[in-house]
Structure 1
Amino acid sequence: MSWLRIAFGTLLLTTNTLLHVPPLLLVALVKAIAPLRPIAPLRAIRRGCDSLLMGIAANWIGINTTLIRWFTRTRFTVDIDARLRPDGHYLVLANHQTWVDIPVLQAALNRRVPLLRFFLKSQLFWVPLLGLAWWALDFPFMKRYSRQQLEQRPELAGRDIAATRRACAKFMHIPVAVMNFVEGTRFTAAKHAHQASPFAHLLKPKAGGVAFVLDAMGGALHSILDVTIVYPDGRPSMLDLFANRVREVRVNIRERPIPAELLGGNYQNDPAFRERMQAWLNELWGEKDRLIAELRAA
């Protein structure tokens, strides 16, 4: 019966996407046509388009979450130690284990905070329907370069930074929750061993992305949402979720102030600031590692 459950659930999620993406693209087109000029009627049109886009996206995510709850017996245990605002400006930091993390984050935070915006690989723009939807919702698309490419052409390193700044400039004047999977990749035992990670349940955190967002948006951000996701029965796949093989998901959300000493620094060119940023993130990751152990043992 699991294959039937998977097929039917996938059909419903696909149908939900097909119903929401066309109006999303239509509103995005109207927003793109309206010139970005300091004229009150044009500003009102763009603000109205932003509100419509967020409403369509929130409804799309809400129906997806409802379908998951209807077609699975997965228990979502969410512990929130934060004052969440749907009109806030947040930097959201989370551990990353599986693609299931994304619907879990959406289920925990949809309509409680602004729409989560992920930094996406540029290749994902070409995903049918979803790529255009992410573009319409101002998800930043980043082009990743290998170490060899950067060694041959060092100027490429600045392009990601410039893209981050452009994305954050869009977010300065609208409610936003900028999402960052700080480990940079999904956790596996092989990656953990290869890194010789000092954390029992996490990969090493990467400070660069956090530093660039704080530099570009620090004054506009209200706080940091520190999200910890635990699957007591092990890391599931999306097929496991649809096949009703995920018994429980535990999510802990803590609001943290943004340390003043991490604002206004130059991560690229200031080694002392870079060390300070990495030390703060390592300390945060140490707390998260201990929390994961507690949530697994609970």
Structure 2
Amino acid sequence: MLHFLPAPLRGLIGATLLALNTLACCVPLFSVTLLKICLPFPAAQRLCRWLMDFIHEAWISCNKVWMNLLGNTQWQVEGLQGLDYQHSYLVTSNHQSWVDILVLQYLLNRRVRPLKFFLKQELIWVPVIGLCWWALGFPFMKRYSKAYLAKHPEKKGKDLQTTRRTCAKFSQTSVGIFNFLEGTRHTPAKHAAQQSPFKHLLKPKAGGIAFVLDAMGEQLHSIVNVTIHYPQGNPGFWDILSGNVDEVVVRFKELPIPAEFIGRNYDQDEAYRLQFQQWVNQLWLEKDAELSELKQRFPGH
């Protein structure tokens, strides 16, 4: 609607609306968080969780308004049919840009429960939004290097413990758990450094979703495997703020969770770990082929 405005002005408007939306949602969110801490009773906890989801979804809905206002994005989407708001899902996607998160929220809002992302522990210090993530129960993970774990073996398995504690909080309610299998955004430099066997993807890190299946596999209805393609090239955050994302192609595929992967210990069962990694690699081979097909069908202009 406002696409006729200069891009810098649209970006300023987008950034302002995003900031105002975030600040406006913080007040009720932090109030409910305080209430949740002070009233540790099941009925009060359920009410607080419902209110938090409502606030979270309202924030996403308001973001959709300014995205539609400032841009003229053409959405090419398939596979959303059949998702049920009452079910719990494990959602994963390829990762090319910070815009991926806003794309997923835009398309999945009120179709599944608000997505809970696994975040690096350092992100809790991001002003305002870090506290929002904490209040909403997003799991913060502390990553250790192999060299550090060699010197401090007692830290091994801490991520699994954090995942289990987080997932235990979701055992009484439907939830959307999200994990970027690649672990980081795809760039040509990272792709080359990894010597990735995939044409369009980094190597997948199977441990994250394996830990989720270990902790709450029986609660999850299915896996939602998402493939995102930007025909004009990977956009930056400023591009989405200024309405400069012309076209987004997204494919959703709902996959059953193999029964043999539920309740298994990824850390300690070597045979299972190899079997799970082979399954994930097959998913990635199929996603790589799908991206090749999408790039042919939706080339850049």
The TM-score, its normalising length taken from structure 1, stands at 0.95
Q: What do residues 127-155 of structure 1 show as CA deviations (whole Å, max 9, x unaligned)?
A: 11111111111101111112221111011
Structure 2 residue 108 is matched with structure 1 residue 103: no
TM-superposed deviation, 1:80: 1.4
Q: For 1:47 and 1:14, locate their aligned partners in 2 and report how far apart those are by CA, in whole Å.
A: 29
Tell me, in whole angstroms, the C-alpha distance in 2 between the residues paired with 1:56 and 1:291. Answer: 35
Q: What displacement does 1:161 show?
A: 1.2
2:15 matches 1:22: no
Which sits farther off after the overlay, 104-113 or 187-196?
187-196
User: Counterparts in 2 of 1:95-244, with a 5 A limit?
Assistant: 95-244=94-243
Question: For residue 11 of structure 1, what is the aligned residue in structure 2?
Answer: 16
Do the aligned residues in 2 keep the contact of 1:116 with 1:176 (CA within 8 Å)? yes
SS state of the match for residue 255, structure 1?
strand
C-alpha RMSD of the superposition: 1.1
SS at match of 2:104: helix
- Return the letter of the residue paired with 2:234: R
**Contact kept? 1:200, 1:289, Cα under 8 Å:** yes
Name 2:3's counterpart in structure 1: none
Q: Tell me the residue number matched to 2:74.
A: 75
Secondary structure at the aligned position of 2:179 is classed as strand
Q: Give the drift of 1:229.
A: 0.6
Note closer, same or farther for the CA distance 1:82–1:212 as it changes in structure 2 (3 Å cut): farther
Contact 1:82 1:255 survives alignment (8 Å): no
CA distance in 2, matches of 1:64, 1:82: 23
1:89 corresponding residue in structure 2: 88
* Unaligned stretches of 5+ residues in structure 2: 1-5
The range that moved more, 49-58 or 80-89, is: 80-89
Query: What is the DSSP-based 3-state SS (H/G/I as helix, E as strand, rest coil) of the residue aligned with 2:217?
Result: helix
Q: Deviations over 1:211-262 (max 9, x none)?
A: 1000000011000000111101111101122233321011111100000111
TM-score, normalisation: structure 2: 0.94
1:160-186 Cα offsets, whole Å, 9 max, x none, are 111111001011111111000001110
* 2:7–2:244 contact (8 Å) kept in structure 1: no
Paired position in structure 2 for 1:60: 59
What's the counterpart of residue 38 of structure 1? none
| 3-state SS of 2:62 partner | helix
Give the superposition deviation at 1:2.
1.6
Stretches of structure 1 that go unaligned for 5 or more consecutive residues are 36-41
Q: Distance in 2 between matches of 1:137 and 1:125?
A: 12
1:256 aligns with 2:255: yes
